[in-house]
Structure 1
């Protein structure tokens, strides 16, 4: 079977969509299938093309047996709604045009969060007369409303009409959460065409390891209880709550034993860094985005991982993929996301829950983990056991079966 996969994020980018797509496609190639990915030049989230790549109309490489076609896009940083929309639209056009030159395709997959990529996948499937799959990673554009990135209500209403049209036209929708499936069914989408394949973790890469000695010394973390957030610093993540916690800890007699690491980039990174400098929060360490291999080194520094999203009903439907990476690496969690992901944390017994945007609750959680080594050890031991339930190779096989059924290749 030949699978054509359209995505605007792919390694060496290290965000969740890039990792999921690569790890699934890699497993499909191992299973004997041909996979072609159409993407852009790697540039997320800074809007700067990675070393070794160019933003050209067409370039091609083979990555782990996957044929990767990179097309020209309008490149911008992950901030500013208008410019990002131009980025999405440019990929929709050039990705669709590139798909016309990919021959003998059995099925097309398009992945969100934003659905312009999915528009290109739908159009490509029409030309090729093959089924297409909508991989649903986010309820978009509703998430734009929630974070206030766009105020024009009429435009958002129009985008939602396009969204519902795409749901109806998809041969099958593969949702990353059960909550997304429920949400779509409430909006009139046929539940029989929605499958759930959650995010997961490559347990061969994300496994327990000792703290990285070199980084420990570099950031002067010896003897400190290190908590951290690793990921996009966006409007949805409300990371000022972490700075509020750092400020509260700094004001206490024993607060110097805590350090908070913020690794990544995004629309709010500059303002967060400026606030920390202005308020003298030297217990917060900012690290820019690093490669996938380096990310694992930074994960190893953490005694606790902070997972956080803005307090809003929409985000109760989200399962942050970093949850599974923390489990794989035996890192206890302070989980500030309500809903389905919180249920996983509780069920697998891998961390403490706290109310999103509640500084006092976050500080209490940090202190509880730091002061209770037995609790910390229990969460660490349970992490890798729970990660086995979300092994990426098994999930890739599950999605592959869905694709084979739709393509008539089962």
Structure 2
């Protein structure tokens, strides 16, 4: 099958972005004999893709066509919108000049990535499948990037409904996202929930890397609380970790140490609020391939979000990485991740923004190593049974094959 795959932020394991779903699926499908053409931006690709406005190359057997478009987590909302617009224009040209395909598969975010997908589909009379990684524009509205009754929000809502209506199938990454798609009137038989995945070959239970911890000045007997991911407004790490660290420090529990890896717009604030605290280590960005060093060196791992209702529908990569690593997960989103950790006894929930509650939960976990190990085993079992990347790649491929067969 010939698949045209459009994703603005296509990234490999060498990237520090962490959003490798498209790459992991594409390389598996390529290995199975399918022909993949990926349309993306140069923002997360090797330097050779940044030398020209439009570039083409091959990554692990995958044909990659890119548009030179800048993007950074430090950008304000206006600059991000401009980046999205530039990519839409360039990607539309690349998509319609990429040759014949059996299916066009566009994956958000942003929502505008669906435009080149639909145009290529319409001009070549090829079935179109759209994947929803965030419920736009509602997520942008609730995060304050768009005004609910503003022109851009209304235009984005029309675009959302247009893409759903013209897609042969819509793939959603969580039950909440699927509900959001269904609420727009999409027939249930066209909506498929395929969440983010656990890379079981990359993340797995292993002893702590004491060399890594020693390089950070973390004592060998410390109880390590890990986080690896974006540090932006939607994560609100700065709204919870500093308060928790300070509470633990005041209780004399400097043996509980936070190790935070990542970058983003809120990192300067996080640095300011944790300055002088002996139980916090900020290690900067790590390429995806190096993140397992952190996850296996932690006793527990955190998946944190701001206290914004729409974020409860998220399908966070870091959560599935943590499960695969066989570590208990601390989640602060009152959505399906909370339901998963409580139903499968593989972690705990604490309310978003409540640092004292986080400190209390960590003290309790640190006091019961047997319980911690049991939760870790449950986490790995859940990753293997429900969220294997191989299994979920097959599920998405089946949706694409069904669409392609409808021509």
Q: Please indicate, yes or no, whether the TM-score normalized by the shorter chain is above 0.5.
A: yes
Indicate whether 1:189 and 2:197 are aligned: no
2:24 paired with 1:20 = no
Deviation for aligned residue 1:347: 2.4
- Offset, 1:53: 4.6
CA displacement at 1:174 relative to structure 2: 0.6
Please tell me whether the aligned partners of residues 334 and 366 of structure 1 are also in contact (alpha carbons under 8 angstroms).
Answer: no
Contact 1:74 1:86 in 2 (8 A): no
From 319, 324, 340, the counterpart of 2:320:
324
Matched residue, 1:241:
240
User: CA–CA distance in 1 between the matches of 2:212 and 2:48?
Assistant: 26
Residue 398 of structure 1 and its aligned partner are, at CA, apart by: 0.9
Unaligned ranges ≥5, structure 2: none
1:241-292: CA deviation from partner (whole Å, max 9, x where unpaired): 1111111111112x21111122111121122112222xx2232111221212
Change in Cα spacing, 1:202 to 1:77, as seen in structure 2 (3 Å) is closer
Q: Does 1:359 align with 2:360?
A: no
Contact conserved, 1:336 with 1:355, CA < 8 A, in 2?
Answer: yes
Contact persistence 1:27–1:397 (CA under 8 A):
no
Q: Name the CA shift for 1:245/1:9 in 2 (closer, same or farther; >3 Å).
A: same
Distance in 1, matches of 2:46 and 2:249, equals 37
Summarize the alignment of residues 305-384 of structure 1 with structure 2, pairs less than 5 Å apart.
305-384=301-380
- Match in the other structure for 2:99: 103
From 195, 200, 204, the equivalent of 1:207 is: 204
1:148 offset after TM fit, Å?
A: 1.8
Q: 2:404 aligns with which of 392, 401, 407?
A: 407
- Matched with 2:287 is 291
- Who is 2:124 aligned against? 128
> Shift of the alpha carbon at 1:117?
0.9
Q: For residues 168-223 of structure 1, what are the alpha-carbon distances to aligned partners after superposition, in whole Å with 9 as ceiling and x for unaligned?
A: 11111011112211122223232221111111111111111222232111012122
Alignment CA distance shift 1:231-1:141 (3 Å): same
C-alpha displacement at 1:350, in angstroms?
A: 1.0
- What residue number does 2:9 align with? 9
The alignment's TM-score, normalised by the length of structure 2, stands at 0.94
Contact persistence 1:211–1:301 (CA under 8 A): yes
What value does the CA root-mean-square deviation take over the aligned residues?
1.8
Alpha-carbon separation, structure 1, partners of 2:251 and 2:387: 39
Distance 1:76 1:260, change over 3 A: closer
Q: 1:149 deviation in Å?
A: 2.9
Deviations 1:54-108 (Å, cap 9, x if unpaired)?
2522222222221111222244444300101111111111111111221121111
Per the alignment, in what secondary structure is the counterpart of residue 95 of structure 1? helix
Contact 2:2–2:34, Cα closer than 8 Å, also in 1: yes
Q: CA deviation at 1:139?
A: 0.5
Cα distance in 2 between the residues matched to 1:149 and 1:103:
36
User: Normalized against structure 1, the TM-score is what?
Assistant: 0.93
Identify the residue that residue 164 of structure 1 maps to in structure 2.
161
Give the aligned length.
Answer: 401
User: Per-residue deviation at 1:14?
Assistant: 4.2
Contact 2:54 2:66 in 1 (8 A): yes
Distance 2:197 2:74 in 1: 24
Shift of 1:151: 4.2
- Once residues 173 and 123 of structure 1 are traced to their aligned partners in structure 2, the CA distance between those partners, rounded to angstroms, is 17
Query: Compared with structure 1, are the counterparts of its residues 248 and 50 closer, same or farther at alpha carbon in structure 2 (3 Å cutoff)?
Result: farther
Alpha-carbon distance in structure 2 between the residues aligned to 1:50 and 1:401: 30
Q: Deviations over 1:265-320 (max 9, x none)?
A: 1121122112222xx22321112212122111122221111111122321222232
CA distance in 2, matches of 1:304, 1:34: 40
SS in 2 for 1:42: helix
